[in-house]
Chain A
Amino acid sequence: MGFLSDNCTLKLYNQDIIDSCNPFDCDHTDLNDFFTNDVDNYSSELLGKTYCFTLDSDPTIIVCAFTISNDSIKTTHLPNSRKKKVIKEIPRPKQMRSYPAVLIGRLGVHKDYRSVEGEEDNTGKQLMDFIKSWFIDGANKTGCRFIVVDSYNEPRALRYYAKNSFESLFSSEEQEKEFTGLPTEASLTTRLMFFDLIVLTK
């Protein structure tokens, strides 16, 4: 049926997990560093909550982990049809909208469990399907329209999110640098991408 549902258990990723499990290795230095050294700090500051799936046959093995936090996508702009009129006449306030979202800060799958023999979907796909389902679940306490991810700006990570139907929030790296206050000559280490949950049905 599913490797994560049948062979793993979802748990809060906290200091107890770090102390009792083997080091989580998703073959990415920065992600490993985050899941080893930064998770506790993010949790204690209430900046993000981290969850993991451990293997049922050996609970010292962390199969995958992800950090999520509440966020929103806010827009402010003048609708095209009103632009000329507003410029010509009295300035009017811009339209502002705020869409509730959950931000996946970090997500990783153990290098030895990315694909499991006999499974139709790889573990990363199963994990993303779980996260999407979790936020359209009727038991979800708050409304959530979008999943946003702060993906590493690396081919493998970007390909993973694209395969899971995420789109870039900004049309170009230059635009993303402008909006995030980075100088044009700086390198963009992460890209913001989003998925609209409205298309899914239970």
Chain B
Amino acid sequence: MAIAIKSIPVLKDKAAAHFTSKVAENSAKKSSVDFSKQTSIAARILAKAKI
């Protein structure tokens, strides 16, 4: 049997503070990366998908 998939533990104290500050940093950079080309490719993939 392969290595089990790990679940995400609750972040506490320093780990939580570090993560929360990253979240705030990223929120300030909201929609800063143009991903339109990749999303149009993904739309084509989903239109063709058999799921």
Residues of A within 8 A of B (CB): 1-2, 4-5, 9-12, 30-31, 33-34, 37-38, 42, 47-48, 51, 67, 69, 71-77, 80, 97, 99, 101, 103, 105-106, 126, 129-130, 132-134, 136-137, 148, 150, 152, 167, 169-171, 175, 179-181, 189-190, 192, 196, 198-202
- Asked if B32 and A30 sit within 8 Å, CB to CB, the answer is no
CA distance A4 to B44 in the complex (A): 10
Query: Which of chain B's residues 1-51 have a Cβ closer than 8 Å to chain A?
Result: 1-3, 5-20, 22-23, 26-27, 29-36, 38-39, 41-46, 48-51
Task: Name the distance in Å between B18's Cβ and chain A's nearest Cβ.
Answer: 6
- Asked if B1 and A33 sit within 8 Å, CB to CB, the answer is yes
Task: Give 3 closest A-B pairs by Cβ, nearest first.
Answer: A133-B42, A201-B31, A34-B2
Sample 20 A-B pairs with CB under 8 A, ordered by A number. A4-B45, A5-B41, A9-B49, A10-B49, A37-B2, A74-B10, A80-B17, A97-B20, A129-B38, A130-B42, A132-B35, A137-B43, A169-B11, A170-B15, A175-B14, A179-B11, A192-B8, A199-B30, A201-B35, A202-B39
- Asked if B22 and A133 sit within 8 Å, CB to CB, the answer is no
CA distance A47 to B49 in the complex (A): 22
Task: Name the distance in Å between A65's Cβ and chain B's nearest Cβ.
Answer: 13
Task: Name the distance in Å between B19's Cβ and chain A's nearest Cβ.
Answer: 6
Residues of B within 8 A of A (CB): 1-3, 5-20, 22-23, 26-27, 29-36, 38-39, 41-46, 48-51
CA distance A187 to B23 in the complex (A): 29
CA distance A132 to B17 in the complex (A): 25
CA distance A51 to B3 in the complex (A): 19
CA distance A200 to B10 in the complex (A): 26
- Asked if A76 and B15 sit within 8 Å, CB to CB, the answer is no
Instruction: Please name the residue on chain A nearest to B18 by beta carbon.
Output: A171
- Asked if A171 and B46 sit within 8 Å, CB to CB, the answer is no
CA distance A165 to B9 in the complex (A): 21
CA distance A177 to B9 in the complex (A): 11
- Asked if B3 and A76 sit within 8 Å, CB to CB, the answer is no
CA distance A196 to B6 in the complex (A): 19
Given A31-B2, A77-B17, A180-B6, A136–B41 Cβ distance below 8 Å?
Answer: no
- Asked if A103 and B5 sit within 8 Å, CB to CB, the answer is yes
